[in-house]
Amino acid sequence: MLLTWKLRIVRLKEQKKLNPRNSMIYKSITKYIQNSTLTSYQKEEALQQIMDMILQAQIENKNINAFIGNDLEEFCDSIINEYSLNLSFIYKTLDFMQSYMILTFSILFIPLIIKGFFSDFSFDLSTSIDNFIIISIITLFSLHLFRRDLQKNAFIAPLPLKYSISANNYHGKGIFAYIILFFAYGISKNYLSNNFGIDLSSQYIYLFNNKLFLLILFIIVSSIQIYKNYFNRQKS
């Protein structure tokens, strides 16, 4: 963690040496890579490497397109893929699980907590199982789609048509997956209701009455974070 901050401080200091054009391109690259699945240390290491190349080209009065090319997306993806080889499947899976759990429960319960503050501190932290499943499905795919949107908007410089097409295809596949999942859930919900008399809309999860569940959730999220910190220290 300390080494990551050192690299970031050096990078921000060196970034001031870039001319306006190179600075614009570097900021685009930075935003794209920052929204990747690399570890914090890997992001800083990659950005520092790119910074050194751009500064060297600038000193030699060379066009940075010589090593970046004409497609920023392709260049950024090649850097991300190179560093991703060092990420284990376990790390990627746990990182996704952690993000999924935090985002799902934030969407579900933060609005209820805020509402409680404006209702004489009367907190009703409950949600139907139906609502929980729907939010879970949305979160499951939004994690990737949202990150992709941030990457798409990272580029300040004009983008080649190729990127716009790939982004549209990506969203098309995401929307199709949403439709399939919601359709499958709708069938399952009707099946449970018609054959077993189970109405998921009337079944509720009460957060205050499930302290053991909250404790287990906290332990899982904390354990994942400890593992990620250990992994990053080992790589640094």
Measured at the alpha carbon of residue 190, what is the angle toward residues 184 and 196, in degrees to the nearest 5? Answer: 125
Q: Which of 22, 56, 84 is the last residue of a domain?
A: 84
Residues 146 and 65 in one domain: no
Residue 135: the pLDDT is 84
Q: What value does the mean pLDDT of the chain take?
A: 78
Strand partners, 205: 127
Q: Are residues 127 and 148 in the same domain?
A: yes
**141: phi then psi, degrees, rounded to nearest 5:** -95, -25
Give the count of domains, the chain: 2
Give the tens place of pLDDT for each residue, 200-222: 888 887 766 667 777 888 888 88
Question: 184-201 pLDDT, tens per residue?
Answer: 888 988 888 888 888 888
Mean pLDDT across 119-125: 66
Domain hosting residue 170, numbered range: 89-235
Is this prediction's pTM over 0.75? no
Q: In this structure, what are the phi and psi dihedrals at residue 2, rounded to the nearest 5 degrees?
A: -65, -40
Let me know whether 151 and 79 are in one domain: no
Can you give the pLDDT at residue 2?
A: 61
The predicted pLDDT at position 151 comes to 59
Asked if residue 130 and residue 34 are part of one domain, the reply reads no
Q: Same structural domain for residues 28 and 41?
A: yes
State the pLDDT at residue 55.
92
Of the residues 40, 69, 84, the one at which a domain ends: 84
Domain shared by 139 and 228, yes or no? yes
Instruction: Determine the Cα–Cα distance for residues 30 and 36; give it in Å rounded to an integer.
Output: 10
156 pLDDT more than 70: no
Examine the domain organization and report whether 44 and 74 are in the same domain. Answer: yes
Same domain, 122 and 204: yes
Higher pLDDT: 236 or 44? It is: 44
Residue 66 sits in the same domain as residue 102 = no
* Pair (71, 98) in one structural domain: no
Range scoring the smallest mean pLDDT among 4-13, 69-78, 168-177: 168-177
Residues 122 and 192 in one domain: yes
More confident position, 233 or 76: 76
Is 47's pLDDT higher than 90? Answer: yes
